[in-house]
Structure formats: structure tokens, C-alpha cells
Amino acid sequence: MAEGDRRKVIAVADAGALATRAADRVLARIAENSGRIAICLTGGSSPKQLYQLLATDAYSSKIPWDRVHWFIGDERFVPVGDARNNMAMARDIFLDRLAPASHIHPIPTDIASPQQSAARYEDELKSFYGAEQLDAARPLFDLVLMGAGLDGHTASLFPGYAEIEETRRWVVGVPKANVEPYVARVSLTLPVLACCREMLFEAAGTAKQAILTRVFSGENLPAARARSNGETVWLVDRAALPEGFRGN
């Protein structure tokens, strides 16, 4: 079994503990790489506390900001001034104050269509990576942060949608979301998200327990199919942990 086929589940007490564990993993991945580092952020509400922690002196002083590049795994196709824009949330909380502007890589939404946005972001990722083809032995990202929706989606890859099967394109436009906000999305595809040293999911709260039960039982859902070629880790708080599941 390849390393990426395994999923490690770490159970923590609550959302606060989860954010601390996630922030510590961000620092650990950064510490492992003495060269250029790429981190792929995620949207939704789950990473908010993590981003707030990264903004504190305790964490920000340990990040070599001049060596870290920040990407985003999916975007809602709304202007940056819209509160629902994923990268805008990360920028407001920590990036704009701490990261060099040229190291912040948002998915563009000031463009005619999600498809054009996807094509442009794909070009940006390829130029950053320095190749047209991904090589699992040379990860694109050091760390990819992820969340899971109540329908089992991850990034903006929704259950039953064709985009989940995409293997050629790096980034896709998704005309309509399966869940709120019902706006068009732009999403990295599974093979691109997988090209990382670590994929780190955060899930907290009782509302997530039912979908995590389905994901961990191996149902064919995007959140279950999303795996790293390296390490895949789920940080789950007690309220979201499926019955009888203790972590591994």
C-alpha cells in the first residue's frame, strides 16, 4: 500500500485544540524544507482559527515569510471584496500583514468566467512548479489544507460532479456549487491536491459527525477520495468524531 493510501485520524478535544495542532503541523512542515515552501490554503469556516493563530507572534515569528508561498485550493467565484471570497479571508486575517505580496497567489475572480480563472491559475501553478506535468517525487505543495462539507465535498469538488474525475486539468471551473454559497467555484483537481507532502483536513462540531462516519467508512465521496501522495491527516474534534472511532 502506498503511503498516500493511508489516512491518519488525530482526535483532539475541541476546535481550539484542533487549530493549535494544525498550526503546529504547519510549522513542522515549514521546518522540514530549507528551500522554497508552498502551502495551499482552504476556505470555509474551519481554518479561521488556524489563520488567527498563524497571525500571532508566537507562530508568525517562526515562519520564514520570504521563503513561503501561499496558494488556495478552491475559490468561490465572487469579487475579493465579497465576504464569501476564500483567499480574502486568509489575506484579512494574516497574509496581507505578514506575507510579501508576490508570495500570495489568489485564484482570480476579476475575470470573465470560472473556466478562464481556472486556466489562468493552472498556468500560474505550472509556472511556479516549473513543469507541465506533475511528478509525485517532487511535490508541488509542502502542505495542502482541506475541509469537508456536509455533503462530502472537499475543495469545490462535489459528489456526483464530473470535475471529481478530472485527471488532465490542474484547475477546473465549477458552474454551480452543491451547497451554500450557491455561486460558481474554481477548484484544484484531485491529482494536483494530492501532489503534496501532507494533506491536512480539519473537521469540528457535531454537524460533521454524520459525514465523517461516511467518509471514514470508505464511501465514494470527494472528501474520502482526496489523498496526498505523501501523508494524509485528519484532525477531528471529539464532537465530530464518528461513534466508536478513537483515531489512529
- Give me the residues that bind ligand 6PG (CB under 6 A), please: 42-46, 74, 76, 86, 147-149, 153-156
* Angle in degrees, CA 63, 118, 234, rounded to 5: 50
CB nearer to ligand 6PG: pick between 185 and 197: 185
Minimum gap (Å) between residue 124 Cβ and ligand 6PG: 18
CB nearer to ligand 6PG: pick between 4 and 44: 44
CB nearer to ligand 6PG: pick between 43 and 159: 43
Widest distance between CA atoms in the chain? 48
Grid cell of 77 as nine digits? 467565484
What 8-state DSSP symbol labels residue 141? E
Minimum gap (Å) between residue 66 Cβ and ligand 6PG: 27
CA 53/CA 197 separation, integer angstroms = 22
Alpha-carbon radius of gyration of the chain:
17
Minimum gap (Å) between residue 179 Cβ and ligand 6PG: 7
CB nearer to ligand 6PG: pick between 45 and 217: 45
Minimum gap (Å) between residue 162 Cβ and ligand 6PG: 17
CB nearer to ligand 6PG: pick between 45 and 113: 45
Question: Which residues is 37 bridged to in the sheet?
Answer: 68
Cα distances (angstroms) measured from residue 61 to each of 57, 96, 217: 5, 15, 40
Neighbours of 166 (CB within 10 A): 18
Minimum gap (Å) between residue 22 Cβ and ligand 6PG: 12
